[in-house]
Structure 1
Amino acid sequence: MTARPGQGGGTVRPLTALAFATATFVALLIFGLGMVSLALGEDVIATSGLGQAPGIVATVFATIAFAIGLWLAVRSHRSAAASEGDSPRLSPSYWGAAWTTAACFLAYVGGLFVGAVTTGADLAAAAAAAGRIATTWFGVVVAAAALVSAWGGIALVRTRASRPRWPWEDEFDE
């Protein structure tokens, strides 16, 4: 398969990459937490009486942090040459994935604390639930889902590939 320049190639738009990566993040987060819970035989939130609301709030907070962090990483960058009429785009840095991962992890832990407090848990129980997530495999899942998804979103924007084409597709184009 070959890719010919000038035939529908180019980067994925940042907004499209953001949508795909955010959906991937949520899917990996839910799948990963479920699989770790199954493997360990433990609930994600082991504190009794909290229900599902803290986990939902934590997921919403982490998803918002992911979307904001990734958007800041992939949005269109313009260099100083833009003032001269040229507008070269600078590729987003993969370091954005690291910052997005840190933001998601902190947002998940903080969201779990906020969700636990708003459901009526005392501060000690909310802190214990959030601390357990931060120091167990569940926290690793949150960070890993964010890292993989953010890296993929940045890679979508950085890649300058066109769709794959078989050699016989160009037979009549020459």
Structure 2
Amino acid sequence: MQYITSYQSPLGKILLASDYQGLTGLWFENDKYYADGLGSQNISMETTILKQTKQWLDEYFSQRQPSFILPLHLIGTDFQKMIWQILLTIPYGQVMTYREIADIAAARLHKEHMSAQAVGGAVGRNHIEIIVPCHRVVGSNGSLTGYAAGLSIKKKLLQLEKIDVSKFKIPKGSEN
């Protein structure tokens, strides 16, 4: 059973989902994967976890690094969960490239090489946006690539964290 509620952020409406273990989802309303992984058995109810998530988001959208860690229930493949755990290590106000994440993943798996594209696929399937900070991942060539909620929201989230986005480029045909 999952519980859902909504949160009105400065960047648009967000759907939140949790179970008894932790937060299971956070999606912007127009997200490419909106409510992906949210089963049909859910109840609109503001649980303790969902209330804590709203407090976390209030702090975040006040341009402050949130002062507490939320209980998360990451639902995905072992590979996806490993990549999402790496995302959780990216400090507030900093970015990491897909290649850097791939190198960390390769080391953890005792492999010589890991595909940055495979990492991109796992990053893109992250169900807990902002909190599992997939918006902090950029291309090795300095491009702002891939964000299920759109590159304009990714850019605004980075700016919220006081990251200078002028040093990044948006690939042609990806503007939104």
TM-score (norm 1): 0.26
Higher helix share: 1
Which structure has the larger Rg over C-alpha atoms? 1
Ranked by relative contact order (alpha carbons within 8 Å, sequence separation 6 or more), the top structure is: 1
TM-score (norm 2): 0.26
